[in-house]
Every structure is written in C-alpha cells, then in structure tokens.
A = this chain, B = another copy of it.
C-alpha cells in the first residue's frame, strides 16, 4: 500500500465501489465508463484508483467479503446458543448480501485477499454448524460441508424473494427453518 489517501480520494474510492456493485449487478459486462458515470466521476479517475478492470473487481470482492465477515462477527455467533446464532447470522448476512450481491456472487481469484476472507467465513460457518450438531440441533450423521453449501444456497434463494413483505427477520426464519426441517411434514403435525 502507498500512503493514506486524502479524504476526497477516499470518498471517490467508495463511490466507485458502490457504483461498480450497482452497475455490474445489472450488467456484468458493463464498461468502466458506465461505472464511472454511475459513481459521478470521470473515467480517468477510476483508472487512477484501480489499475485495471480486474483490479477494481477484486477490490470490490474483497471489500464486500470484509463487510460480510464483519456482519457475522457482529452476531457474536460463538457466545450464543446455536439456534439463536443461526438466526442472527442469517439476518445479518441477508442484509449484506442483498447490498453486494454481484461482488459476493462471483468466483473469487485464487490468491487474492477475497479468497482468504471466504475461507475464514467458511470456517466460521462450519464451526457454528458443528456446534449446532453437537447440541443435537442437526442430524448427527449430517455432512457439514453439504449443510454449509445448502445453507449458502438457501440464503441466495431468499434474496430473490419478491414478496410484498421483505422483513429480513422473517426471511432469516424461513431460511433457518428450511435448513433444519426441509419442506416435509413436520414432526409435530398429525
């Protein structure tokens, strides 16, 4: 890293990242020009801050993954009963992932900082699931890696939900509920 950016430059960077998310989510092949325009910035400025298109996208991914990890940390999943933790984490993740769906929906580059963030995230997730299994919340025979991927997929699906009632907590409940019990007839039902 070079020295710290001046305040206005930092504002530009943030604006560009947010604009990139917005524009690229609508069209993954959008040009730097379109991104610059959406950011309210000249195209040259984008190139000044990000060496290349790829660099911009990687920075975008890294920023988003950092926020995602932060959102999970905020839920303090390690000091809470698994079921509660699952709900909280899910709600937080839904919030972040809704805002950065493009950045978080891309396969990340091998060596980048984003990849490390994903690894950390995956580890935390599996740890939480492991605790859930240990406390009898999950089937003792469950394959945690599979459960984790199903969990991710459910979150992704929940984001595409288009109900009139976009209550994040309700969505989180739906996700966790589906993850735990599926769509089959519930134990308590006649």
138-188 of chain A: CB within 8 A of chain B: 138-140, 142, 146-147, 149-150, 153-154, 156-157, 160-161, 174, 178-187
The chain B residue with its CB closest to the CB of A175 is: B150
Query: 1/0 contact trace for A33-54 toward B, CB 8 Å?
Result: 0000000000000000000000
Interface size class on chain A is 20 to 34
Q: Is A84's CB within 8 Å of the partner chain B?
A: no
Query: 1/0 contact trace for A123-143 toward B, CB 8 Å?
Result: 000000000000011111010
Q: Measuring CB to CB, which residues of chain A are less than 8 angstroms from any residue of chain B?
A: 28-29, 136-140, 142, 146-147, 149-150, 153-154, 156-157, 160-161, 174, 178-187, 189
